[in-house]
Amino acid sequence: MAGKPAQPNDNGARKDFMEPEDYFMAAAVLSARRSRDPSTQVGACIVNQDKKVVAVGYNKMPNGCEDHMPWSRSKGEDAAAAVWANGGDLTVATAAKVAAAAAETKLDTKYIYVCHAVLNAIMDKNSADVKGCSIYVTLFPSNECAKLIIEAGMKEVVYLCDKYHGSLETQAAKRMFKQAKIPCREFLPKETEVVLKLKST
């Protein structure tokens, strides 16, 4: 029996192939999965003007430091976890407060050591430079990432999530992007299912 009549220009190709933009953001989402950060995993994918991927990256500790730097968000969390692990009779909440009050150093948090996803992607690029490239990021770039993106001559930022939009770092990043005339747009998947599925797993 004859099937559906072929449409003009129907060469029999698969119709549900992945659109390039979805692929680039999915690559960023997949890269984020390599992160060891227990709370926030960030991925980045840099694409050149020929639509070729030239780099991917994720938030990580510097090479050689992976097993030695803390992943905690606050000194208190570390100390509380240690008390808890040693069978201490303080609750985690109490221990956290005691430790946080006793030591206010940031040296025991991840923030001072971690390489953001954008930095890692730029350092790991497989091209001479990333001038004129677009960057797909799972989280809006920080002020430090914005400086790198601008100085590297990238032309566009596409982001999936902006959960720290109220932070000083994000506000500073937006101010620099505006001044440097680098457009930032929220990612709108063409084929939502694939990217969101990756994001949520």
Ligand X SMILES: Nc1nc(=O)n([C@H]2C[C@H](O)[C@@H](COP(=O)(O)O)O2)cc1CO
Q: Which residues are annotated as a binding site for Zn(2+)?
A: 116, 145
> Which is nearest to 151 in space by CA: 185, 116, 122?
122
Question: Rounded to the nearest whole angstrom, what is the least distance from the CB of residue 31 to ligand X in the complex?
Answer: 11
110 interacts with ligand X by CB under 6 A: yes
Binding region for ligand X (CB under 6 A) out of 8-16, 77-85, 127-135, 141-149 = 141-149
Strand partners, 105: none
* Cα(186)–Cα(159) distance, integer angstroms: 5
> Closest approach of Cβ 52 to ligand X, in Å?
23
Q: Would you say 116 or 125 has its CB closer to ligand X?
A: 116
> Toward ligand X, which CB reaches closer, 96 or 117?
117
**Residue 6: CB minimum distance to ligand X, A:** 48
Among 92, 97, 156, 164, binds ligand X (CB under 6 A): 164
Q: Which of 141, 154, 160, 184 binds ligand X (CB under 6 A)?
A: 141
Query: Which residues in the 111-130 window bind ligand X by CB under 6 A?
Result: 114, 116-117
Rule CB under 6 A: choose which of 34, 36, 73, 174 binds ligand X.
Answer: 73
| Three-class DSSP labels, the chain | CCCCCCCCCCCCCCCCCCCHHHHHHHHHHHHHCCCCCCCCCCEEEEECCCCCEEEEEECECCCCCCCCCCCCCCHHHHHHHHHHHCCCCCCHHHHHHHHHHHCCCCCCCHHHCCECHHHHHHHCCCCCCCCCCEEEEEECCCHHHHHHHHHCCCCEEEEEECCCCCCHHHHHHHHHHHHCCCCEEECCCCCHHHHHHHHHC
Residue 153 beta carbon to ligand X: minimum distance, rounded to whole angstroms: 19
Q: Which two tokens stand for residue 146?
A: 């914005």
Q: Scanning residues 10 to 69, which ones bind ligand X (CB under 6 A)? A: 37, 39-40, 42, 59
Residue numbering of the annotated binding site: 116, 145
State which of residues 108, 156, 169, 191 lies at the interface with ligand X (CB under 6 A). Answer: 169
Q: Which amino acid, one-letter code, is at 38?
A: P
Chain positions contacting ligand X, by CB under 6 A: 37, 39-40, 42, 59, 73, 110, 114, 116-117, 139, 141-142, 145, 164, 169
